[in-house]
Amino acid sequence: MSIALYGAARTVLEKETLLKLPFVNVMNFGIAGLIVFILPHPLTLVAAAAYFVGSTLEANAIASAIARRKQE
Amino acid sequence: MLEEFGRIVVATVIAWILFLSIDIFWRLPQKGGVSGADAIGTAISRHGGDRNGGWMMGNIICSPDASAGTLLAACGVFVAGIPGGIAAAVLVYVGNRICHDKGYAGTSGALIATFIIAGCMQIGFMASDFIAGMVLAILTIQGLSHTHASRLIGYFWRWRA
């Protein structure tokens, strides 16, 4: 319940320049926690982990793509 | 209600100390592990932050590290007790391999967090407190001020190195 507020607040706060990714990361933490809070079931853990790993992978892809663009 | 608030604050402090010490133990601030983490670290240091702290923040973002391990371990203990926490550690291990991360910070963090959370549950905490606490802890590191958080991590890192 309280987690929902944090996740939402972070989404709003996510208005930064190139350094958005840490805020998105905070939001992902909130959502992964929310998934487990809403559905307390053992399989939910797999869903939360899959979501979180996917989100970090995505953040990594975005950041490295930006890094590669800068090098050129 | 007030009691729950107090428990969450204490859980935040425990989770904060736990994941920061494990990350620094596994030398996350030493270098940007993957190219994305490197880029985030350089971007943060360009905006006046600390370079080592920025790398560690980049590593936290780009791969499941001890902070993610603590969160998922808390979730695991919440849904299934200690076996759930160990399952979370396995999932974090798989996640680390998917993200091409050679470290073991996430896996060890999840295992240590499982037992700390299970221990705290014996003295009246609830696993849900740790889920909330971990989200608050990551908020203080990643979500408030990149500059100050990275300087704080850099300070801890120089103290360790």
Q: Convert the pLDDT of each residue in A25-70 to its tens digit.
A: 777 777 777 777 777 777 777 888 888 888 877 777 777 777 777 6
Tell me the pLDDT band of B58, cut-offs 50, 70 and 90: confident
B128 burial via Cβ count (<10 Å: 0-12, 13-18, 19+)? buried
Q: What is the number of structural domains in chain A?
A: 1
**What is the pLDDT, as a whole number, of residue A12?**
58
Residue B137 touches chain A, beta carbons under 8 Å: no
Q: Among A35-39, A68-72, B15-19, B67-71, which is the least confidently predicted range? A: A68-72
Cα distances (angstroms) measured from residue A18 to each of B4, B40, B104, B156: 37, 9, 29, 26
CB B154 within 8 A of CB B30: no
CB A21 within 8 A of CB B38: no
Residue B72 touches chain A, beta carbons under 8 Å: yes
**What is the pLDDT, as a whole number, of residue B63?**
73
Residues of chain B in contact with residue A18, where contact means CB-CB under 8 angstroms, are: 43
The token duo for A56 is 């970090």
Query: Which residue on chain B is closest to A44 by alpha carbon?
Result: B79
- Average pLDDT of chain B is 76
Contact A25 B61 (CB under 8 A): yes
Residue with the bigger pLDDT between B9 and A66: it is B9
CB pairs under 8 A between A and B: 139
pLDDT tens, residue by residue, B71-115: 888 888 887 777 877 888 888 787 777 766 666 777 777 788 888
Give the DSSP letter of residue A41.
Answer: S
Q: Which of B36, B33, B39, B40 is closest to B104 using CA atoms?
A: B33
Contact B36 A10 (CB under 8 A): no
For testing the chain A interface, which of B131, B144, B148 should be mutated: the one with the most A CBs within 10 Å? B131
For the residues B130-145, what does the mean pLDDT come to?
77
Cβ count near A25 (within 10 Å): 27
Residues of A with CB under 8 A from a CB of B: 2-3, 6-7, 10, 13, 18-19, 21-23, 25-26, 29-30, 32-33, 36-37, 40-42, 44-46, 48-50, 52-53, 56-57, 59-64, 66-68, 70
**What is the pLDDT, as a whole number, of residue B102?**
66
Contact A25 B128 (CB under 8 A): no
- Give the nearest partner residue to A26 out of B36, B132, B139, using CB atoms: B139
Tell me the pLDDT band of B17, cut-offs 50, 70 and 90: confident
Q: List alpha helices for chain A, DSSP H.
A: 2-13, 21-38, 42-71
Domain extent for A10: 2-71
**What is the pLDDT, as a whole number, of residue A64?**
76
Cβ count near B35 (within 10 Å): 18
